[in-house]
Structure 1
Amino acid sequence: MRIVVTGGAGDLGSRVVREATARGHDVVPASRRTGVDLATGDGLEDALLGADTVVHCADDPSRGDTVTVYATRRLADAAAAHDVHLVHISIVGIDQQPMTYYRRKLRAEQGIDAAGGPATVLRATQFHSLTAFFARRLSVGPFTVTIGDMAFQPVDTDFVARRLVDVAAGPRPTGYVRAPDVAGPDVLPIGEVARLVRAHRRASAPRVVRVPPLGRLMRAISESRNVPATGTADLGGLSFADWLATQPERLTGR
């Protein structure tokens, strides 16, 4: 099977490329490095020629709607025109959150549906690295702030990559469908995430300061709408603690 991977040089995309290649597929990484610019459409038509599936991992939240919404719709239209199955990675709970980026991701899904081609959307929870980043950002000295009952169900990036390849190589839908959400094995309050992160660098457990949720966004965070409903998601991959054990003592980035 010929599989095109947008964002094939990025963290998730490169893992999808490795996984699909290891399974014996003909894999084409598509990014600006390989002459494909989704923001302008340059190189897109050539990249899709002869493809069976395109796994869409490319994104750039710093550019507003340009990549997240408009480039995704451009890709969806091109995939539909070439009768290529589009597999799109999205985020659990985006229809339950007023966050601007989540609104964009929801519009991207709607654009894929409107394109009318065979397409599968797979929503995942936050990756382990991003969850650790949130815990660090919400910590000041020995204190960690929690907004209400804020919690995460972080997922291993490699597990998500495997599921994307499963979908890409699996049965082809006749139109727009949603695959089961994917998440990690554990639901963790932010205080517990911070405790694990601090223990990883041999620091004492933080004191958790609870902030009441005020406004729509804070209420959504407090109610953990980023966590899938019990029994609805495909759970797997490394736990957050096991992932931490593979990381350097000093965490950086997202």
Structure 2
Amino acid sequence: MRILVTGSTGQLGTALLSQLRDCNYQVKITSRRKPESMEDFNWVYSDLLSGEGLDEAVKDVDVIIHAATSPTKKSEAIELTGFGNFLSKAQHIQHFIYPSIVGIEDIPFKYYRLKYEAERLLKNSNIPYTIARATQFHSFVENLLLSKPLFNRYVIPGKVKFQSVDVGEYAGYLTDLVNKGPQGKAGDFCGPEILTLKEMAELKIKINNEKNNVLSIPLAGKLYSSLIEGKNTNSMEKIGEITFEEYLRSKLID
């Protein structure tokens, strides 16, 4: 089996390479920047924005795991225009695995809307596919929302809910899909527990023995309401096993 991993220098791409390092597949990786560690992998340059290198990237490949994404910079050009161009070059692919995000059709956030449109592009293509949605990664929640206390306080929308998941576990789930073949839309891959952001902040304070406190502030708007309602969670799909607390404790060991 010949596999291509896009976005090989990103967080998910790096986790995928760890999962695939000792496998029996022939693995090709592609990104704009050459990875620092690429033992046993064949790297080729490609750019979803310009289209450069995509033909070479998909050449002689059976399966694609599309970890490339851009939440903040030129998102529409990469998530939709670039992705559509990529799909046009991947018509020979036997299985296209597309990592996506739980609840994107119900959360009014631009990046999520683009991911949902990208799902539609893949569904309407002639390529056999699996759409594999996950909840937010543990590290995403911590680094984006719990990284910078202000005057010894985490000032956060504390009632927002997350069901965060370990990126390594999700990468393992994606690699397991390779042998299962195209699934269409697979079940959601979600973390083992649903916590409010306030509860997650309190866990971080406790585990790290911080002197910080939590100041929970309400926000207005549909985005905030959808996250309070837990549209980004799925209580029926608690597949991941590593909790947010275990993630925090593992960082102390590292």
TM-score of the pair, normalised by structure 2: 0.87
Q: Is the 8 A contact 2:46 2:54 kept in 1?
A: yes
Structure 1 unmatched runs, 5+: 250-254
Between the aligned partners of 1:135 and 1:15, the Cα distance in structure 2 is 22
Deviation at 1:184, TM superposition (A): 1.3
Q: Distance in 2 between matches of 1:234 and 1:28?
A: 31
**CA–CA distance in structure 1, aligned partners of residues 2 and 50 of structure 2:** 23
The one of 63, 68, 80 equivalent to 2:74 is 63
Q: Distance in 1 between matches of 2:148 and 2:161?
A: 13
Q: Does 1:181 align with 2:159?
A: no
Q: 1:83 aligns with which of 93, 97, 103?
A: 93
Measure, in 2, the Cα distance between the counterparts of 1:131 and 1:51: 34
Which of 16-25 and 135-144 deviates more?
A: 135-144
State the 1:132 CA deviation.
1.0
Instruction: Give the Å deviation of 1:207.
Output: 3.7
Does the C-alpha gap of structure 1 residues 18 and 133 become closer, same or farther in structure 2, counting only changes over 3 Å?
Answer: closer
Matched, 1:246 2:234: no
Please give the per-residue CA displacement for 1:15-54, whole angstroms capped at 9, x wherever unaligned.
2123123221111011123322222222222222221100
Equivalent position amino acid for 1:242 in 2: E
Percent identity over the alignment is 29
Residue of structure 1 equivalent to 2:41: none
What amino acid does structure 2 have at the position aligned with 1:5?
V
Question: Is the Cα–Cα contact under 8 Å of residues 135 and 190 in structure 2 kept in the other structure?
Answer: yes
**RMSD over equivalenced CA pairs, Å:** 2.2
Match of 1:168 in 2: 178
**What is the CA distance between 1:14 and its match in structure 2?**
2.0
Aligned residue pairs: how many?
A: 243
2:229 to 223, 234, 249: 223
- Higher helix share goes to which structure? 1
TM-score, with normalisation over the residues of structure 1? 0.87
C-alpha change, 1:234 and 1:41, in structure 2 (3 Å) is farther
Is 1:22 the equivalent of 2:22? yes
Secondary structure of the 1:247 match is helix
Runs of 5+ unmatched residues, structure 2: 35-43
Asked if structure 1 preserves the Cα contact closer than 8 Å seen for 2:160 and 2:224, the reply is no
Matched letter for residue 20 of structure 2: A
Cα deviation, 1:83-134, whole Å, max 9, x if unaligned, reads 3311011111100101111111111111111222111111111101111124
- Give 2:117's aligned residue: 107
Corresponding residue SS for 1:161 = helix
1:116 paired to 2:94: no
| Equivalent residues of 1:39, 1:66 under 8 A apart | yes
CA 1:138 to 1:193, structure 2 compared with 1: closer, same or farther past 3 Å? farther
How far the C-alpha of 1:148 sits from its partner, in A, is 7.1
Q: Answer yes or no: is 1:194 the counterpart of 2:204.
A: no
CA contact (8 A) 1:180 1:234 kept: no
Structure 1 residues 148 and 194: CA distance shift in structure 2, 3 A:
closer
Letter in 2 for 1:24: N
1:132 corresponds in structure 2 to: 142
